[in-house]
Each structure stands twice: as C-alpha cells, then as structure tokens.
Amino acid sequence: MESSKSAPGGVPADQGAGAMSRGRMPEESEADVAMPLESVQARRFGKARSAQATALLEDYAELIADLLAGEGEARPTDIARRLGVSHATAIKAIARLKREGLATARPYRGVFLTEDGQRLATRVRERHRLVVDLLVALGVPVETAEQDAEGIEHHVSDSTLAAFARFLAGR
C-alpha cells in the first residue's frame, strides 16, 4: 500500500500547497481558476488600498474615544504609547484627523473628537465587536479574535458585516 506524503498543514504534497496560498482548494488546478477581469481585479485592489488608508484614521478615532471615555483626556503621548508609534507619528495622524474634520485639539488639553469623529469611532467599535463575536463563535480564542479583528474590521464590507450579524443572530 502506498502512503501519501503531506506538506505542512496536512495538504497532500502532490496537490500543491501553492494552490492553498492562492486561495484555492487543493483539488483545483491552475486551469480551473481563471484570472479575474482587469477592471474587477483593479477594483478589488483599490478597495484594499482605500481601506488601508482609512484604517489609520479609524484606529486613532476609536482610541481617542476610548481614552476620553476612560481617562477623560486623550493626549498625543498616550495615543502614541497605546498605538506603539512615535510621538511624531501620532502628531501627524492627529493633524490628519483635524484636516478631515474628525478631531480638534486644544493646547494643554489633548485631542477631542468632533461629532463626525465620534460617529466614526462608534461605527468602528461596532464593526470590531461584530467581527470579534463572529470569530469567537467560530472557535477562535478571544485574544486572537481581538487581534485579528483589528485588521478585518477595516477591510470587510457592510454586506459581509450584515451576513456576520445574521449568522450570529441565527445561532
């Protein structure tokens, strides 16, 4: 009897782990998966780049709201420490929040969110909680779910979030 060798992760070596890394099932061959149209692929990548650009603002707004609620103030030094960035990086991001109309700053008083900034922070927090709840429902440990949600919450569409909510409601 001939045994089948497996690549790491339990994928049979002859079925190619490379297929898995490209988002295909091991039984699919290169010929089975067609390249998307250029316009479709460009739209997908454009959406990801846009989400990355807004993720930064969303993370800062959410953290500022949390600091204001928990500490009563959101100082650039505290923001930098909690996000693990330099003070200069935090100042640049805060300046961007202010340009976008999401935050204000007062000398010696820290950073405050505008109404739009507070709405953004609330929306991001709700997205985060929904993603965490779904991941935990799927059996992901809480700490891992919290970490993974930090990226997913910025990239997932509203229709996918709605599907997450329906799934959770139907359990």
Look up the domain containing 107 and give its range.
38-114
pLDDT in tens, 23-48: 555 565 555 678 888 887 777 777 66
pTM over 0.85: no
Is 144 a member of any domain?
yes
CATH code at position 139: 1.10.60.10
Residue 45 lies in a domain: yes
- The residue from 99, 114, 129 where one domain ends is 114
Q: What is the pLDDT of residue 26?
A: 58
Residue 57 shares a structural domain with residue 96: yes
Mean residue pLDDT across the chain: 83
Q: Which residue in 161, 131, 160, 125 sits closest to 147, CA to CA?
A: 131
Percent of the chain with pLDDT over 90: 58
Place of tokens 């103030």: 73
**pLDDT the model gives residue 48:** 67
**Co-location of 103 and 67 in the same domain:** yes
